[in-house]
């Protein structure tokens, strides 16, 4: 029986750049796959580096994502439009803290739940105004304000 072959680091890097750009555009794997004539499962394999992306397909992916092929090979130290935006997003207050906590989590289900939670909160925010310090301290200590939670009986 042959040993499992691990993905090439360059294939993983290019795949992660495809994923990052796709997510920045709020594009689903299915939508990218449709634009390329692929299934979303194939897009997943490309993004994980499990399957290599051929040159012509890489060119088509870059075109759909609105970037050059070279940008898919760049490392974070290289400056491009994507990298600049990524660094700008990480400079947001609390962003790096959230990302560091996320990377300490190894369970994919928990990671997915964290992403869903943050996206749900962000989608409900009318403005980008940070919460009041009193709200943050109540959350940290677990104390509620004077209102408390209404029970079914109180609503009747």
Spell out the domain ranges in the chain. Answer: 1-73, 76-112
For the chain, percent of residues with pLDDT exceeding 70: 69
- Which range, 28-32, 83-87, 95-99, 149-153, is most confident? 28-32
For the residues 90-113, what does the mean pLDDT come to?
86
pLDDT in tens, 13-68: 899 899 989 988 889 999 999 999 999 999 999 999 999 999 999 999 999 999 99
DSSP letters of the chain? -PPPPPPPHHHHHHHHHHHHHHHHTT--HHHHHHHHT--HHHHHHHHHTSSPPPHHHHHHHHHHHTS-GGGGT--TTS--HHHHHHHHHHTSTTHHHHHHHHHT---HHHHHHHHHHHHHHHHH-SS-PPPPHHHHHHHHHT---TT-PPPHHHH-
- Mean confidence (pLDDT) of the chain: 79
Give the confidence band of 151 by pLDDT, cuts at 50, 70, 90. Answer: very low
Are 37 and 31 within 8 A, CB to CB?
no
Q: How confident is the model at residue 140, as a pLDDT?
A: 55
Q: How confident is the model at residue 150, as a pLDDT?
A: 47
Which pairs with CB-CB distance under 8 Å and at least 24 residues apart come from 111-116? none
Q: Is the dihedral of CA 52, 54, 60, 66 positive or negative?
A: positive
pLDDT in tens, 76-93: 555 555 566 676 677 778
Q: How confident is the model at residue 156, as a pLDDT?
A: 40
Are 18 and 64 within 8 A, CB to CB?
no
Q: How confident is the model at residue 45, as a pLDDT?
A: 94
For the residues 105-117, what does the mean pLDDT come to?
91
Which architecture does CATH list for 1-73? Orthogonal Bundle (1.10)
Q: How confident is the model at residue 155, as a pLDDT?
A: 42
């Amino acid at each position: 029986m042959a040993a499992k072959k691990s993905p090439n680091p360059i294939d993983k890097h290019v795949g992660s750049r495809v994923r990052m750009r796709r997510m920045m555009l709020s594009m689903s794997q299915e939508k990218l796959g449709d634009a390329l004539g692929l299934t979303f499962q194939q897009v997943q394999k490309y993004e994980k580096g499990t399957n290599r992306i051929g040159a012509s397909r890489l060119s088509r992916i870059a075109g759909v994502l609105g970037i050059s092929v070279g940008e898919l090979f760049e490392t974070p130290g290289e400056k491009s439009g994507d990298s600049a935006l990524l660094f700008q997003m990480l400079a947001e207050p609390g962003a790096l803290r959230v990302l560091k906590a996320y990377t300490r989590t190894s369970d994919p289900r928990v990671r997915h739940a964290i992403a869903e939670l943050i996206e749900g909160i962000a989608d409900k925010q009318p403005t980008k105004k940070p919460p009041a310090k009193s709200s943050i301290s109540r959350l940290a200590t677990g104390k509620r304000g004077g209102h408390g939670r209404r029970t079914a009986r109180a609503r009747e």
